[in-house]
Amino acid sequence: MQLLKTALDLVRQHYIFPETAASVIAAVEARTAAGDYDGLDDETLAARVTELFLATSGDKHLRLLVRSPDHRAATTESETEAAWAEAQRLGNHHIAAVQRLDGNVGYIDLRGVASPGDGGTAIVAAMELVTHTGALIFDLRRNKGGDPEGVQLWNSYLFPDSDTHLNDIYDGDTTRTRQFWVLPYVPGRRYLDRPVYVLTSSFTFSGGEEFAYNLKALRRATLIGEATRGGAHPTARFPVSATLEVAVPHARSINPVTGTNWEGAGVEPDIAMPAGEALQVAYRLALEHVVTTDTSQAVLAEAREALSAFSH
């Protein structure tokens, strides 16, 4: 099957762990020779090959995927990037909600991480809308990942200067390690000297996990919810047909504080609980902070009223 051969060639060329790539390729080739993939529709083929990828490698990023209908006309790298950027634009660069909750608590529901080149203005706008709040909640419970530079921009708002080392990524294609530090400049105001809470779930993945892991390692946020899904390998997607593409991890994250990453294990929360309960717990903690630190009588009254609902 030519498309599987193309997919396996890409795994061979780009997968971050060559020995694991060899095992994955051998497993798929054996199934192909046995006729296990003959006559399957795209969805079934993608699901079965991905299942074998995972069973052989343990890597949740290594996948055969059905291409989005909006991406099927894209055959070159530039066309694929343009289609991806358009999808992010129409999805508001993964920012589902930005709110000021009662009691002057900021809340950002972030479903993915856009690159600064595509979503930088939206990221800046979101942080500007919460800049005057007394505590901030990032909801990453439905975050499926995204761009490391986007994580760097979001995280940079939470530290005072560029002396903070966030993450490193070793790229197997180039054999180079790129360091990610807090940016020396961010548009608008940084969010400093106030607590940050990060909500996680078993769905939180990849760049969403890095977002949480960086802040936990640097003790800049309190993580609340469930252990995350466990994918720490930056990935590139390559079309193998008009309707299928292969996602191949070509790099790995190395946290400068822990010396490791969250691959396989996920990011453990500081306060473990079902994801559905995490927002209420974070909101209560945020309100408790506001009522003990804020000086505005109007904000204090609002925060006390909101906090009183938790005692009923």
Q: Measured between alpha carbons, how far is 131 from 127 in angstroms, rounded to an integer? A: 6
Reported as a single tens digit per residue, the pLDDT across 290-307 is 999 999 999 999 999 999
Residue 73 confidence (pLDDT): 62
For the cut 70, the answer to whether the pLDDT of residue 309 exceeds it is yes
For the cut 90, the answer to whether the pLDDT of residue 77 exceeds it is no
Which pair of structure tokens corresponds to residue 90?
A: 């129409």
Reported as a single tens digit per residue, the pLDDT across 118-160 is 999 999 999 999 999 999 999 999 999 999 999 999 999 999 9
Cα–Cα distances in Å, from 130 out to 126, 139, 157, 188?
Answer: 7, 14, 11, 11
Contacts of 229 by beta carbon, 8 Å cutoff, 6+ apart: 60, 202, 203, 204, 205, 206, 209, 266
Q: Among residues of the chain, what percentage have pLDDT more than 90?
A: 90
Pick the CATH number of 80-233+249-311 from 3.90.226.10, 3.50.50.60, 1.20.1250.20, 3.90.650.10: 3.90.226.10
Q: What DSSP letter does each residue of the chain carry, written as one string?
A: -HHHHHHHHHHHHH-S-HHHHHHHHHHHHHHHHTTTTTT--HHHHHHHHHHHHHHHH--TT-EEEEPPGGGTT--SHHHHHHHHHHHHHHTGGGEEEEEEETTTEEEEEESSB--HHHHHHHHHHHHHHTTT-SEEEEE-TT---B-HHHHHHHHHTTSSSTT-EEEEEEETTTTEEEEEE--S--SS----SS-EEEEE-TT--THHHHHHHHHHHTT-SEEEE---------EEEEESSSSEEEEEE-EEEE-TTTSS--TTT-PPPSEE--HHHHHHHHHHHHHHHHHHH---HHHHHHHHHHHHGGG-
Reported as a single tens digit per residue, the pLDDT across 190-246 is 999 999 999 999 999 999 999 999 999 999 999 999 999 999 999 999 999 989 999
Q: Among residues of the chain, what percentage have pLDDT more than 70?
A: 96
Q: How confident is the model at residue 71 (pLDDT cuts 50, 70, 90)?
A: low
Contacts of 167 by beta carbon, 8 Å cutoff, 6+ apart: 148, 151, 152, 179, 180, 210, 214, 253, 254, 255, 256
Mean pLDDT (whole number) for 182-194: 97
Q: Measured between alpha carbons, how far is 249 from 269 in angstroms, rounded to an integer? A: 25
Span of 64-73, 167-176, 277-286 with lowest mean pLDDT: 64-73
134 near 300, Cβ under 8 Å? no
What residue spans define the domains of the chain?
2-66, 80-233+249-311
Cα–Cα distances in Å, from 79 out to 9, 265, 311?
Answer: 22, 35, 55
